[in-house]
Amino acid sequence: MNFSRTVRRLYPRVRIVNLMEFEQETTVQDMPAATPAGPLKLAPQRNPVELTKREEEILQLIAEEYTSQEIAGRLFISMRTVEVHRLNLTQKLSVRNVAGLVKEAVRRGLVK
């Protein structure tokens, strides 16, 4: 614990995670604040998603507010193909609609 405080004092931008072992089951909420920065907060882990080049193109165009018809014309593919890619993207990113698709794509850094 003293080591953590020293590092925080010398390098204030460094984030420290102290790992502790317990003999009995405990939760993060039961642990004391490990560093001056506060208690440990765990973010939900998401598996990295693998998109095809075409899915990346379509996702970017969706984020730029192109309609399915505009995307189809721009990429020289059918509207049905665009809709299938859109469906695959919503499944891969575990979202329900286009708003969720764009929100998740931005959160993951998949669009510019």
> 38 pairs with which residues across the strands?
35
Give mean pLDDT in consecutive 10-residue pieces for the chain, a chain of 112 residues: 73 70 54 51 63 96 96 97 96 95 93 90
CATH 1.10.10.10 placement within the chain: 53-108
Q: What does the pLDDT read at residue 11?
A: 75
Of 41, 63, 68, 54, nearest to 109 (Cα)?
Answer: 63
Q: Is the pTM of this model over 0.75?
A: no
CATH of domain 53-108: 1.10.10.10
Of 74, 78, 105, 106, nearest to 90 (Cα)?
Answer: 105
- Count other Cβ atoms within 10 Å, centred on residue 57: 15
CA pair distance 83, 99, nearest whole angstrom: 15
